[in-house]
Amino acid sequence: MTDDGRFGFLVAPLEGRGMFRFQLIVDSQLIGDTEPCILGTAMARLKGLTHLDDDRLGLLFSDRDVVLSALLTEEELHDRTTLSIAESLDGWLIHGYVYKGNVVVVARGDEDGSLTGPTLVAVVASAEYAPIVEAARNYWSSVNSSSIS
């Protein structure tokens, strides 16, 4: 996780071959459930976030709702940023992208298909994000390969 605790991953092995607990820390809040999941897709997707230059994304700190609305309604932004990465995050709508050298993660509860709760945002310098993802990937890979052996 980041030094300030505003962004990170919780990756923990569970019983069952290749099963892990996977949750995100966004805006200093732990999100997702504790149900077991397989993380291959998550580990690949988190490493290859889309780079965007849409000027509306710069409004993130002054008007989160404008940014969230664009991510939800504009097909190109929505499709390129939506992160469907693990079953443990099924109750959340999560967008992730790179904007002006920063990784941005926007999350909102999505119970029963209706967005609820506050919009959580974490902005992390790409140089800080890369080693966090790499550490999570290395840990997952190491534990996963040792459970297969």
Burial class (CB in 10 A: 0-12, 13-18, 19+), 139: middle
Within a domain: residue 70?
yes
- Structural domain harbouring 124: 7-148
- Give me the mean pLDDT over the 61-90 stretch: 87
User: Residue 28 above 80 pLDDT?
Assistant: yes
Within a domain: residue 40?
yes
Distance separating alpha carbons of residues 92 and 89, to the nearest angstrom:
5
- Give me the mean pLDDT over the 25-30 stretch: 96
- Give me the mean pLDDT over the 82-105 stretch: 92
> In the chain, how many domains are there?
1
Predicted confidence (pLDDT) per residue in 91-101, tens digit: 899 999 999 99
Is residue 147 very low, low, confident or very high in pLDDT (cuts 50, 70, 90)?
low
Place of tokens 């967008």: 95
pTM to 2 decimal places: 0.90
User: Residue 148 above 70 pLDDT?
Assistant: no
Within a domain: residue 120?
yes
Within a domain: residue 1?
no
Mean pLDDT of the chain: 89
